[in-house]
Amino acid sequence: MLFEWFLRDIVLIDEFGRHAEGIRWALGGRLLIDLQRSGITPASLKSFDQVSHERFAEYQEALEASSSLQALGHRAWLRISGTGEPSERMTMLLAIRARAELEKLRGIGREYIVSEKAVPTPPSVTGLGPEWGGPDR
């Protein structure tokens, strides 16, 4: 999960620049809620911030070590497996997964900015219009 969120974090920084920290904060809160809903106890989440910062730093270091995503895949596999034993197959699989995820998310900032301009203005005090689910819908 931290590997997946790391990939999204890279995109946040690249695509949203000065807004990245606010978005990161909101997504972090959402992630904690989702983890609790999935059955993880609040007690086990106490060190989540520290662990996620450490993992992100490790993953960033691996990402900077090579122009290929294999170093990142290798580091992620070692953390995911918890065995310390490298696996060429899993390293490659995670590198391919990372590339696909980053490609999928590329341009999301432009999409957001375009869609943000298309959002209708807030409803007036007199009532909701059809674009807000009001009676004219």
53-91: pLDDT as tens digits: 899 899 999 989 988 899 999 999 999 999 888 899 999
Q: How many residues can be counted in the chain?
A: 137
> What percent of the chain clears pLDDT 70, i.e. is strictly above it?
80
Q: At how many degrees (to 10) do helices 48-65 and 2-16 cross? A: 70
pLDDT at residue 112, rounded to an integer = 62
Stronger pLDDT, 55 or 136, i.e. the higher one: 55
Mean pLDDT on 39-61: 86
Give me the residue spans of the domains in the chain: 2-107
42 to 4, 39, 48, 70, 81: CA distances (angstroms): 21, 9, 10, 34, 24
87-118: pLDDT as tens digits: 999 999 999 999 999 999 888 776 665 455 54
